[in-house]
């Protein structure tokens, strides 16, 4: 998807603003508008003796997204702050695709899993225990507002040529999200496409999506995004953010606030 965007074969793609920040630092004028503030979660089997990050020592921890996954980096940063130890040196991390990790924990091959929100929701609906939501780790690191990580990414030069159409698109997406937030009837319509095998899973996915709809996007969120960027930069070094020492100007499209 991002290759298509960079090659001019797509106008808009879904990614995170960390990617946008790195692109801008390297001279590519992409910009970002929020789509979701949903975060992943750390999940353990029901009855697991793991009750805190400290209990993960020596355990096999499944991690979706690889070593530079933002949730994994935040968990490492929290462990460093709370315990003085980098979780990466304490656990046996198992990096794999999200659905594979869900199967691994169901089969008892890993002790815990840090997965994306919709995969974590499915595990919770099946009776597993949510040990820590990534948003709570973020809050514990001093980032108080709901900073959306995922959003629409596009070239600002293209946006300047199609400003009215783009603003209309974002009004439509906000209206659609408001409808999904407030009305259960629409969820009945989309349920067949959700792959929810039972009512508990359906409700977990619906509620998780609703929780992730951004309510505010203004100066407070942008300020906390800068703090979040600093946390991620310090724990990952240049591997994640490149040479950027702060969020480059223009990373967030200035036309959208709410």
> Residue 143: helix, strand or coil by DSSP?
coil
Domain boundary residue, one of 110, 140, 170: 140
pTM over 0.85: yes
C-alpha distances out from residue 215 to 79, 87, 134, 151, 181, Å? 29, 32, 18, 14, 11
Task: Check residue 57 and report its DSSP letter.
Answer: T
C-alpha distances out from residue 251 to 11, 17, 146, 198, 228, Å? 17, 7, 18, 40, 14
Domain range for residue 156?
A: 2-37+146-241
Residues 111 and 58 in one domain: yes
- Determine, yes or no, domain membership for 251: no
The tens digit of pLDDT for each residue in 144-189 reads 999 999 999 999 999 999 999 999 999 999 999 999 999 999 999 9
The tens digit of pLDDT for each residue in 8-67 reads 999 999 999 999 999 999 999 999 999 999 999 999 999 999 999 999 999 999 999 999
Task: Check residue 11 and report its DSSP letter.
Answer: S
- In total, how many domains does the chain have? 2
Taking the CA atoms of 68, 70, 74 and 79 in sequence, report the sign of the dihedral they define: negative
Residues 188 and 210 in one domain: yes
- Would residue 142 be called left, alpha or beta, if left means φ above 0 and alpha means ψ between -120 and 50 degrees? left
Q: What is the pLDDT of residue 219?
A: 97
Q: What's the CA gap between 214 and 174, in Å, rounded?
A: 9
Task: Check residue 32 and report its DSSP letter.
Answer: E
């Amino acid at each position: 998807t991002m290759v298509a965007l960079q090659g001019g074969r797509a106008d808009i793609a879904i990614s995170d603003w960390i990617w946008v920040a790195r692109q801008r630092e390297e001279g590519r004028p992409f910009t970002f508008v929020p789509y979701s503030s949903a975060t992943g979660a750390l999940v353990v089997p029901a009855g697991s003796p793991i009750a805190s990050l400290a209990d993960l020592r020596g355990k096999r921890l499944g991690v979706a997204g690889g070593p530079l996954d933002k949730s994994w980096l935040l968990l490492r940063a929290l462990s460093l702050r709370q315990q003085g130890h980098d979780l990466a040196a304490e656990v046996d991390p198992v990096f794999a695709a999200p659905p594979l990790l869900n199967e691994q924990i169901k089969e008892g091959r890993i002790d815990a899993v840090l997965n994306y929100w919709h995969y974590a929701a499915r595990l919770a609906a099946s009776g597993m225990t949510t040990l820590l939501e990534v948003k709570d780790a973020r809050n514990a690191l001093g980032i108080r507002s709901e900073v959306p990580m995922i959003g629409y990414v596009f070239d600002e030069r293209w946006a300047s040529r199609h400003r009215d159409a783009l603003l209309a698109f974002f009004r439509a997406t906000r209206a659609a999200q408001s409808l999904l937030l407030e009305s259960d009837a629409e969820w009945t319509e989309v349920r067949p496409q959700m792959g929810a095998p039972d009512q508990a899973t359906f409700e977990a996915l619906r509620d998780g999506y609703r929780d992730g709809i951004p309510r505010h996007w203004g100066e407070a969120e942008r300020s906390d995004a800068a703090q979040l960027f600093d946390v991620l930069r310090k724990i990952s070094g240049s591997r994640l953010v490149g040479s950027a020492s702060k969020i480059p100007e223009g990373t967030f499209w200035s036309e959208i606030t709410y």
